[in-house]
Chain A
Amino acid sequence: MSTLRVAWTLERAALRGQLEYRLNFIVSTFMGIAYQGSGFAFIYVVLHSFHTIGGWDFSDLAFLYSLRLLAHACCYLPFNQIDFLDVTIREGKFDRYLVRPMNPLLQLMTNRFQINAVGDVLTASALFVYAASIAHVDFSPLHVVYLVLAVIGGALAEAGFILAVSSLAFRFLETWAAAFLVDNIYLMFGSYPIRVFGATTAWIMTWIIPVAFVAYIPASVLLERTNGLHIANVVAYGAPVIGLLWFFAGYQVWRLQVRHYQSSGS
């Protein structure tokens, strides 16, 4: 518990540090909004001329998109520094994390604060409020509990996979492009009903890269569209658990890869 308190203090200090640069704060927040909003702009524009994608109408797609954004924001808020793991390793700065009495991953996470995460949270919250008001979702207590768990599970599914890919930096030193690819896969495949990509891709995006568990499967449950799913209903209701399992798997990969760390030699 005291570790978490120290981590929280460090995280607050990192955030305060970034708030010093006001213009950059505004630009980065705006960038976060533009980055996450641009995919939604596509959906908005195409549904102006067409009415459904794979049987999902605008309100369904808005709900799916906002759910993915919420999960992504919950993942990116604590994990944004993973993007800088490869630079940290290349410059030998990971040495510090290893000699301090705290989990190196927590130290990396709280090292700095990537300010566009704030833009992600703002976009996600605004879009979710909007989508929830137009989508046909019954917000019964059971559904609300499932929703909260699914968002956390989705964040963990994304974080676990990104953690596993980023830890390859301990061996290959430069992995930002690979991490960028993973980020794009979540952004691009996660925003649509996965079935439109065909059975093979849907299977890959469910069982190889856990994209479907982030938003598509939970959204199908909440919109009562489970009969259109490519997996069993039991698995769909258990989506949060699968996210948790992925995070454990990602953390194990991280622990295995940390052992390959070689300092920069200078």
Chain B
Amino acid sequence: MTTTLGTTAAPTGREPLSRSPWRDVPAYRQIINSRLRTTLAYRQNVFFLLAILILQIFILRKVWTALYQGHTTVDGLTLHALLVYITLANLQNWVLQDPTISFYMYNRVREGQVAFDLVRPVGFVPQMFAHLVGSSFATVIFGLVALPFIFFAGTLGAPASPTALLLYLASFVLGYVITTLLTLMLGMFAFWTTEISGLTMLYRLINQFFAGALVPVSLFPGAIRIIADVLPFQATTYTPVAIYVGRVRGADALGALGVQAVWVVLLIFASWAMWRRALHRVVVQGG
């Protein structure tokens, strides 16, 4: 038997007015906690993924050092500032990305368990947000474990100035929200397609490149620069890290934060619209 769940059967956020928004906090805390522990329990493979990150940072440092031979400053960045940029951008990009959540969503949809998620008193989208936050805690812990190795493989350095640090933190938070929204939308593709592994891999590559993890976006030539500017990925990594190393500062930095804020609003609308459509597509097999 096939059951189609319409909007009436699923909680769509229209809770009674008397309900306090804080009521669900223990539920979110529970999801965050269990996701954190699950990710930490399956750590065997994470060390290999961390090894890839460390090697990538090492390779980029060596290649960029070779590229800088005969140059002192390129595009307003000294070799040291560029290496700090590359190290931090890759570390941050790694810590904030978690492909396992989109796979988790995909499996819930494919195996029909999404029906249980939908009838829970807490909305589906906030549940997935909680999962993402939980796994981010885990990846931050892994990132901290890797930090001594990254210190040797790459170049860590202080921010350009105290102001740069403050702006970096604000930009980092906005970048985290953008990444989370993008990951959520990627996972929602599970409602349309029966195979997302190819899509996830493609997303990872496009994101890594256009986020500026390999090359700062400011060094992209003409057309590629325009593509990078109209995509949201540079707002997740390039913006905060370029602020950190002082490549973007003052009024430019505030403008960049504004662009990030616009992306947050746009992506909230986009993911909300996508979710409305996804809900109409839920088909639960069996029963």
Chain A min CB distance to B82 (Å): 11
Is the beta-carbon distance between A184 and B219 smaller than 8 angstroms?
no
Please, which residues of chain A bring their CB within 8 A of the CB of B215?
A: 42, 45-46
| Bound CA–CA A19/B50 (angstroms) | 35
| Bound CA–CA A18/B58 (angstroms) | 38
Is the beta-carbon distance between B195 and A192 smaller than 8 angstroms?
no
Residue of B nearest to A188 (CB): B59
Please, which residues of chain A bring their CB within 8 A of the CB of B214?
A: 42
Does chain A have a CB within 8 A of B49?
yes
Chain B min CB distance to A109 (Å): 21
Is the beta-carbon distance between B59 and A197 smaller than 8 angstroms?
yes
Please, which residues of chain A bring their CB within 8 A of the CB of B55?
A: 181, 184-185, 188-189
Please, which residues of chain B bring their CB within 8 A of the CB of A30?
A: 198, 202
| Bound CA–CA A116/B198 (angstroms) | 9
Q: Which of B197-233 contact A (CB under 8 A)?
A: 198-199, 201-202, 205-206, 208-209, 214-215, 219-221, 224
Residue of A nearest to B64 (CB): A46
Binary interface encoding of chain A residues 184-200 relative to chain B, with 1 for a CB under 8 A from any of its CBs, else 0: 11001100100011100
8 Å CB contact of B205 from A27, A38, A116: A38
Chain A min CB distance to B132 (Å): 21
Binary interface encoding of chain A residues 15-42 relative to chain B, with 1 for a CB under 8 A from any of its CBs, else 0: 0000001011001101100110010011
- Size category of the binding interface on chain A: 35 or more
Is the beta-carbon distance between B224 and A45 smaller than 8 angstroms?
yes
Does chain A have a CB within 8 A of B41?
no
Does chain B have a CB within 8 A of A50?
yes
Is the beta-carbon distance between B62 and A196 smaller than 8 angstroms?
yes
Does chain A have a CB within 8 A of B67?
yes
Identify the B interface with A (CB < 8 A): 44-49, 51-52, 55-56, 58-59, 62-63, 65-68, 71, 74-75, 193, 195, 198-199, 201-202, 205-206, 208-209, 214-215, 219-221, 224
